């Protein structure tokens, strides 16, 4: 027989665990050098002071990063983007839709990667809760 108190306890626990995993997320931020950007990253978000540009088709040659300013308003997944932080703003040169910045002016390079252990831990926690409380709802 289904007991209302058991259902409330199970539901509260499941909601708490789902929120915990969601807030923690399954991604972690990794900082790297400009030369070690993973090949799968096809868009760069270039930050300089309060300005932000999405850059695609980028190349790094002779110590200068060049690319095309991304014109589409498409949503880009987190795992396809690398964030570069440049200073000062005057180092960023824009010529029409082309953008260039010296590699020496790029202070930081960040990108998101999937954290395997956090993802597996969250799935295991949800499985433990599910297998613990679901039988108590029916007996």
Instruction: Copy the structure tokens of residue 115.
Output: 């954290």
Same domain, 55 and 123: no
Residues 131 and 71 in one domain: no
Same domain membership, residue 78 and residue 101? yes
Domain co-membership, 12 together with 34: no
Q: Are residues 16 and 4 both part of a single domain?
A: yes
- The answer on 65 and 32 residing in a single domain is yes
What's the rounded mean pLDDT across residues 56-61?
84
- In the chain, the percentage of residues whose pLDDT exceeds 70 is 74
Q: Are 124 and 56 part of one and the same domain?
A: no
The pLDDT of residue 101 is 92
Residues 43 and 101 in one domain: yes
Residue 126 and residue 97 share a domain: no
> What's the pLDDT tens digit per position in 79-113?
678 888 888 888 899 998 899 999 888 888 887 77
Distance CA 113, CA 137 (A): 38
Per-residue pLDDT band at 55 (split at 50, 70, 90): confident
Residue 47 sits in which domain range? 28-114
Q: What average pLDDT does the structure give for the chain?
A: 77
Same-domain check for residues 3 and 67: no
Indicate if the pLDDT at residue 2 is higher than 60.
Answer: no
Determine the pLDDT at residue 82: 84
pLDDT digits (tens, 9 = 90+) for 15-41: 776 766 665 566 666 676 777 676 777
Same domain, residue pair 104 and 87:
yes
Cα separation of 104 and 2, whole Å?
66
Give residue 132's pLDDT.
Answer: 74
Distance CA 88, CA 49 (A): 7
The region, left, alpha or beta by phi > 0 then psi within -120 to 50, assigned to residue 110 is beta
Residue 125 confidence (pLDDT) above 70: yes
> What is the pTM for the complete model shown?
0.63
């Amino acid at each position: 027989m289904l007991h209302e108190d058991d259902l409330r306890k199970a539901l509260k626990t499941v909601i708490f665990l789902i929120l915990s995993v969601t807030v923690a997320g399954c991604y972690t931020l990794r900082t790297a050098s400009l030369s070690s950007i993973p090949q799968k990253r096809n868009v760069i978000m270039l930050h300089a002071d309060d300005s932000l540009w999405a850059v695609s088709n980028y190349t790094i040659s002779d110590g200068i990063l060049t690319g095309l300013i991304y014109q589409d308003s498409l949503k880009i997944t987190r795992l396809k983007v690398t964030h570069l932080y440049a200073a000062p703003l005057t180092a960023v040169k824009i010529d029409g839709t082309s953008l260039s910045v010296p590699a020496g002016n790029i202070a930081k390079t960040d990108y998101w990667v999937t954290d395997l252990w956090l993802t597996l831990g969250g799935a295991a926690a949800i499985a433990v809760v599910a297998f613990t409380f679901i039988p108590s709802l029916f007996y």
